[in-house]
A and B are shown apart, each in its own frame.
Chain A
Amino acid sequence: MSVEYQGLAARASQGDVEAFRRLVQDHSALVYRVALRVLGTTDAQDASQEVWVRVWRNIGRFRGESAFSTWLYRITVNTCLSVQRKESRRDEREHAEGIPYLPEPSGSDADPEAAALGAERRAEIETALGRVRAEHRAALVLRHMEGLSYAEIAEVLDVPDGTAKGWVSRGRAAMLVAMSDGAAPSLDRNLDGNGG
């Protein structure tokens, strides 16, 4: 499949729009999904369109040294981060006053997978994601929502492996703090009073 996409990319770089159309059709969900997770619903569509404009403009630079999807992830994340930079910087809280907890699910909500599918829970996750610093959020999305390895994340974000790990780790912590803030009334945030 990867070889097929490399062939399509090579044809697209020669101006073959039909080859480009195939690439767009097969990867539009990937681009939109990442934009949606990193930027939220409001900006995801415009960012996705911008990604494809950049892909068409730069496809001649795709050398096939990595998978086409890795190259595409890189353009998508860079586009999302540049959209994000236009907005004001967000304050990320990586450290809670106490230890952050998520409330115990109750009743039919006890199955965490089923709970995650609820509209309210989904909105809660999206809001919390929006409170994580953009680079950390991108790393978190790539790791825990897209399932990329640290080596792939490092390649996409163009940073060393250690930095990629650090960003995912900080993103996870900030996300938990943000989620526990959102669920504050039901939390006991002051157990022992030491967040470590």
Chain B
Amino acid sequence: MLEKIGAYAAGELEGEEAREAEQLIFERPDYSRLAESYARMLVMLNTLGSEPVEAPEVVVGYAVRRAYASAFMRNAEVFLGSLGRTYLDALFYYFGLRPQRRESYGGGI
């Protein structure tokens, strides 16, 4: 009953259920007071919920700094990875470790 009257006070009951709740509230003063208490509480919640709340500046700053650091690390990883591969390629070439390719570059038929 506690929850049913709460749902009625929140305007969430329809049809037969709403009529049942209304009947109880009409017949019993304790349920009538309960419905009033719910209504008062819901107004308070709604009012508090609609008050503007600003996030502390430190939250925004921290989030953006973390994102920059993470993006930097990601880019650095990609850069170092490609640099490493280039050096490795150069090393392979220098020591002649690269497998011979069949294709020729220019001049050949």
Task: Judge whether A28 is part of the interface by a CB distance below 8 angstroms.
Answer: yes
Task: Judge whether A45 is part of the interface by a CB distance below 8 angstroms.
Answer: yes
**Which residue from A25, A55, A96, A116 sits with its C-beta under 8 Å from B48?**
A116
**Which residue from B6, B10, B40 sits with its C-beta under 8 Å from A105?**
B40
Q: CB-defined interface of B9-48 with A at 8 Å, one 1/0 digit per residue?
A: 0100000000000000000111101100110111111111
> What's the least CB distance linking A68 to chain B, in Å?
15
**Which residue from B29, B37, B48, B70 sits with its C-beta under 8 Å from A176?**
B37
Residues on A with beta carbons closer than 8 Å to the beta carbon of B34: 99-101
Task: Judge whether B53 is part of the interface by a CB distance below 8 angstroms.
Answer: yes
Residues on A with beta carbons closer than 8 Å to the beta carbon of B45: 125, 140, 144-145, 175
Question: How many angstroms between the C-alpha atoms of A96 and B31 in the bound complex?
Answer: 14
Task: Judge whether A192 is part of the interface by a CB distance below 8 angstroms.
Answer: yes
Task: Judge whether A64 is part of the interface by a CB distance below 8 angstroms.
Answer: no
Task: Judge whether A29 is part of the interface by a CB distance below 8 angstroms.
Answer: yes
Residues on B with beta carbons closer than 8 Å to the beta carbon of A113: 43, 47
Given A15-B75, A144-B49: A29 touches B54 (CB 8 Å cut-off):
yes
Task: Judge whether A39 is part of the interface by a CB distance below 8 angstroms.
Answer: no
**Which residue from B3, B30, B70 sits with its C-beta under 8 Å from A169?**
B3
Q: Is the CB of B41 within 8 A of A29?
A: no
Main secondary structure on B side of the interface with A: helix
Question: How many angstroms between the C-alpha atoms of A155 and B51 in the bound complex?
Answer: 25
Q: Is the CB of A99 within 8 A of B64?
A: no
Q: Is the CB of A121 within 8 A of B44?
A: yes
Task: Judge whether B109 is part of the interface by a CB distance below 8 angstroms.
Answer: no
Question: How many angstroms between the C-alpha atoms of A83 and B60 in the bound complex?
Answer: 20
> What's the least CB distance linking B35 to chain A, in Å?
10
Question: How many angstroms between the C-alpha atoms of A37 and B50 in the bound complex?
Answer: 12
Task: Judge whether A196 is part of the interface by a CB distance below 8 angstroms.
Answer: yes
Task: Judge whether A7 is part of the interface by a CB distance below 8 angstroms.
Answer: no
Q: CB-defined interface of A21-51 with B at 8 Å, one 1/0 digit per residue?
A: 1001100110111001100000001001100
> What's the least CB distance linking A145 to chain B, in Å?
3
Starting from the known contacts A24-B63, A196-B5, 5 additional A-B residue pairs (CB-CB under 8 Å) come to: A32-B55, A36-B53, A56-B70, A141-B49, A180-B37
On A, residues with C-beta under 8 Å from B are 15, 17, 20-21, 24-25, 28-29, 31-33, 36-37, 45, 48-49, 52-53, 55-57, 94-96, 99-102, 105, 112-113, 115-117, 121-122, 125, 140-141, 144-147, 169-170, 172-173, 175-176, 179-180, 191-192, 194-196
